[in-house]
């Protein structure tokens, strides 16, 4: 037979009279009344414990009326039985401003509120879920609702009406378990935050966090002992591990404690402080609050390890981590690729009159489809040779960093006609994704065919291309093998190496994401990086002579790339420009640049 304390006997009388008065007046409206918490467990202490009473209604018509009446009777009986709820509950006012501030927060969070009156439809008792729309969002993320309903089922005490405890079958998933151990964490964190200016309240919330943690930690591990002593003992046992191995005559044994006996002793300390048996100094209170915070973190981590990091679950955990890592890797790779191939179009602001007063606006379709390519054509009457100037990755037909307009002007003055155009997605051409040469080569092929239609022979058409445009020019060679020559200024040798090298600067991602970017480019956009290797293309044209130009101060594409390109083409020429940066050869040595380029085209073009 259980021996009741004097405080428990008082609360039993209190509750009996409270329920009788409420049901005498509203019996037709009330479905049932259930009690849980310390009063239901027989652990009630006046001035220390709060009360948790739920009134489930049959209809919502008189909810406010019943709530107000129940509250009125509650406080009348509080005075009659001297239960001292005014010290504990958040629904009372205090002469202290700070106390009132925290009571307001507690009331908003439904802490230390004695009576909850629920109309039908707010709670799903069978599934153990909060269904009221207003409470739905916080219940999903902060309230461990399944465990609350489980407490109704296990320790709840029906004071009136039908017994719903047998109907409660809450589904407890990982998310519900996780929320259970997060509530003590947030309470302890809050107690640390308010410690400098409200140490009494900080101690109060730290105590609640500790006592909450004891139940939540074991709920997380799906252990339900009845007494507090059993809970503490089991928690200590379940967070102690033994590693033992035998090797012939050698016996190795290691015992490790995720939580020690001293750690779990904080539960008893918190109970003593709450009941008034133990009084702390201001200094000790500060230590207690901080200790609680670290204890909650350690306990949460310990029970998580104890439940999930077992031999049985280790493979599942590893598979889960690897799966998550793969998902994150490919998601980031796809986003990085998307940003790379969808650059913001750079509008064309330059004027052709800076090159020559005589020019034509031209328009032709790319060889890959109905994408319109826009350009300028400057005709020279001095010869039948024509040069196509090809820009780099982020520029339109005029690249001021290279000096496209000046190069075009110098070529015209030496008798070469010049065609400038915007690749797809740039300048005045139609917008399309940037494919690092995979589709842009069809734009360059279309530019060549446009000149052929104007009457120029293929072997009198040359190309000067810079940076990534140089790679595009070489990649287009299988479609236009008759072009007389290509000048590749600051070009790259292998797109795979280029992406791996450029990725950290362009997207701030490590180099190993280049494989994921390549995967998505091939899968989603049909761009195969292993087919975009200029050195491999050049090897297929051993009889063609190229002119490779590279600055020895190039920090974007290293000079080694042009060296590799020249080695792949024995008949070609490599000019290394001293002190020149990326595509800065013309600006560094403009006269020598034009001399070498024009001599090259006069040699290779008919």
- Predicted local distance difference test score (pLDDT) of residue 245: 47
Of 535, 567, 563, give the one whose Cα is nearest residue 549.
Answer: 563
**pLDDT tens-digit readout, 405-416:** 999 999 999 999
3-state secondary structure of 416: coil
**Domain 176-309 part of CATH 1.20.120:** yes
Per residue in 336-393, pLDDT (tens digit) is 888 877 777 778 888 999 899 899 999 999 998 789 999 999 999 888 899 999 998 7
Q: Are 176 and 144 in contact (CB under 8 A)?
A: yes
Residue range 187-220, pLDDT digits in tens: 889 899 988 888 888 888 888 888 877 777 777 7
> Per-residue b/e over 430-446, b at no fewer than 16 CB within 10 Å?
bebbbbbbbbbbbbbbb
- Which tokens is 558 given? 């290293």
Between strands 573-577 and 250-257, the pairing is: unpaired
Are 300 and 185 contacting, i.e. CB atoms less than 8 angstroms apart? Answer: yes
450-462 pLDDT, tens digit each:
999 999 999 999 9
Q: Give the tens place of pLDDT for each residue, 514-572.
A: 888 888 888 877 878 778 899 999 999 999 999 999 999 998 899 999 999 999 998 99
Check: CB of residue 187 under 8 Å from CB of residue 106. Answer: no
Q: b or e along 200-239 (b: 16 or more beta carbons within 10 Å of the residue's beta carbon)?
A: ebbbbbbbbbbbbbbbbbbbbbeeeeeebeebbebbbebb
Cα–Cα distance for residue pair 601/575, rounded to 1 Å: 15
Q: How far is CA 182 from CA 144, 203, 205, 257, 367, in A?
A: 9, 19, 14, 22, 60
Gap between the Cα atoms of 182 and 186, Å rounded: 6
Residue 100 is predicted with a pLDDT of: 78
Does position 252 have pLDDT exceeding 60, yes or no?
A: no
| Residue 366 confidence (pLDDT) | 93
pLDDT tops 70 at residue 142: no
For residues 576 and 596, the answer to whether their CB atoms sit within 8 Å is no
> Which pLDDT belongs to residue 247?
46
- In this prediction, residue 229 carries a pLDDT of 66
* pLDDT tens, residue by residue, 463-472: 999 999 999 9
Q: What is the pLDDT of residue 506?
A: 62
Interatomic CA distance for residues 528 and 532, integer angstroms: 7
pLDDT-derived band at 285 (thresholds 50, 70, 90) equals confident
Q: Phi, psi at residue 389, to the nearest 5°?
A: -95, 125
Report the DSSP pairing between strands 123-124 and 129-130. antiparallel
* Both structure tokens of 271: 């109970």
**CATH fold for domain 352-494+533-604:** Rossmann fold (3.40.50)
Would you state the structure tokens that stand for residue 360, as one six-digit string? Answer: 């034509």
Stretch 103-121: mean pLDDT: 80
Q: Cα–Cα distances in Å, from 189 out to 195, 196, 205, 213, 261?
A: 10, 13, 9, 13, 23
Residue 259 has pLDDT above 70, yes or no: no
Calculate the dihedral angle through the C-alpha atoms of 203, 206, 211, 212, rounding to the nearest 10 degrees.
140
Q: How far apart are alpha carbons 523 and 26 in whole angstroms? A: 68
Mean model confidence pLDDT for the chain? 84
pLDDT of 137 strictly over 80: no
Q: How confident is the model at residue 256 (pLDDT cuts 50, 70, 90)?
A: very low
Give pLDDT, residue 227: 64
For residues 46 and 175, the answer to whether their CB atoms sit within 8 Å is no
What is the three-class DSSP state of 362?
strand
Whole-number pLDDT of residue 255: 44
């Amino acid at each position: 037979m259980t021996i009741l304390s004097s405080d428990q006997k008082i609360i039993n009388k209190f509750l009996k009279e409270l329920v009788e008065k409420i049901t005498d007046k509203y019996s037709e409206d009330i479905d049932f009344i259930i009690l849980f918490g310390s009063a239901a467990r027989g652990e009630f202490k006046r001035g220390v414990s709060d009360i948790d009473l739920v009134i489930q209604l049959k209809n919502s018509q008189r909810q406010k009326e019943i709530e107000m009446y129940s509250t009125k009777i509650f406080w009348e009986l509080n005075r009659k039985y001297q239960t001292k709820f005014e010290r504990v509950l958040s629904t009372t006012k205090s002469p202290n401003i700070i106390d009132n501030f925290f009571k307001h927060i507690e009331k908003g969070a439904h802490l230390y509120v004695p009576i909850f009156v629920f109309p039908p439809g707010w709670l799903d008792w069978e599934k153990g879920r909060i269904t009221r729309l207003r409470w739905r969002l916080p219940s999903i993320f902060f309230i461990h609702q399944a465990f609350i309903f489980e407490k109704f089922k296990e320790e709840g005490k029906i004071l009136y009406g039908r017994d719903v405890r047998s109907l409660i079958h809450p589904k407890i998933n990982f998310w519900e378990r996780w929320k259970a151990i997060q509530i003590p964490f947030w309470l302890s964190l809050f107690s640390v935050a308010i410690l400098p200016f409200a140490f009494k309240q900080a101690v109060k919330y730290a105590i609640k966090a500790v006592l909450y943690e004891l139940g939540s930690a074991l709920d997380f591990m799906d252990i339900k002992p009845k007494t507090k002593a059993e809970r503490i003992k089991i928690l200590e046992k379940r967070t102690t591990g033994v590693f033992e191995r035998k090797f012939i005559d050698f016996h190795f044994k290691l015992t490790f404690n995720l939580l020690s006996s001293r750690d779990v002793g904080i539960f008893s300390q918190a109970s003593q402080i709450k009941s008034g048996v133990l009084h702390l100094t201001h200094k000790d209170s500060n230590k207690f609050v901080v200790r609680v915070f670290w204890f909650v973190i350690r306990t949460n981590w310990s029970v998580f390890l104890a439940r999930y990091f077992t031999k049985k679950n280790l493979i599942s955990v590893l598979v889960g981590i690897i799966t998550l890592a793969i998902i994150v890797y490919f998601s980031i790779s796809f986003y990085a690729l998307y940003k790379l191939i969808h650059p913001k179009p750079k509008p064309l602001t330059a004027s052709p009159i800076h090159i020559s007063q005589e020019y034509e606006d031209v328009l032709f379709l790319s060889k890959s489809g109905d994408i319109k390519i826009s350009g300028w054509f400057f005709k020279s009457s001095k010869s039948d040779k024509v040069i196509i100037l090809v820009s780099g990755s982020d520029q339109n037909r005029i690249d001021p960093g290279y000096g496209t307009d000046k190069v075009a002007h110098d070529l015209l003055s030496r008798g070469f006609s010049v065609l400038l155009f915007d690749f797809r997605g740039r300048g005045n051409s139609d917008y399309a994704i940037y494919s690092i040469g995979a589709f842009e080569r069809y734009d360059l092929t279309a530019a060549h065919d446009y000149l052929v239609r104007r009457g120029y022979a293929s072997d009198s058409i040359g190309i000067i291309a810079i940076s990534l445009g140089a790679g595009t020019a070489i990649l287009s060679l299988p479609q236009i093998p008759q072009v007389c020559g290509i000048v590749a200024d600051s070009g790259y040798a292998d797109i795979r190496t280029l992406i791996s090298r450029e990725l950290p600067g362009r997207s701030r991602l490590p180099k190993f994401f280049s494989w994921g970017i390549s995967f998505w480019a091939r899968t989603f956009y049909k761009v195969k990086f292993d087919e975009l290797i200029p050195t491999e293309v050049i090897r297929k044209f051993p009889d063609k002579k190229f002119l490779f130009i590279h600055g020895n101060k190039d920090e974007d594409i290293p000079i080694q790339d042009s060296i590799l390109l020249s080695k792949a083409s024995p008949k070609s020429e490599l000019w290394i420009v001293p002190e020149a940066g990326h595509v800065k050869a013309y600006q560094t040595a403009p006269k020598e640049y034009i001399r070498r380029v024009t001599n090259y085209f006069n040699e290779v073009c008919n």
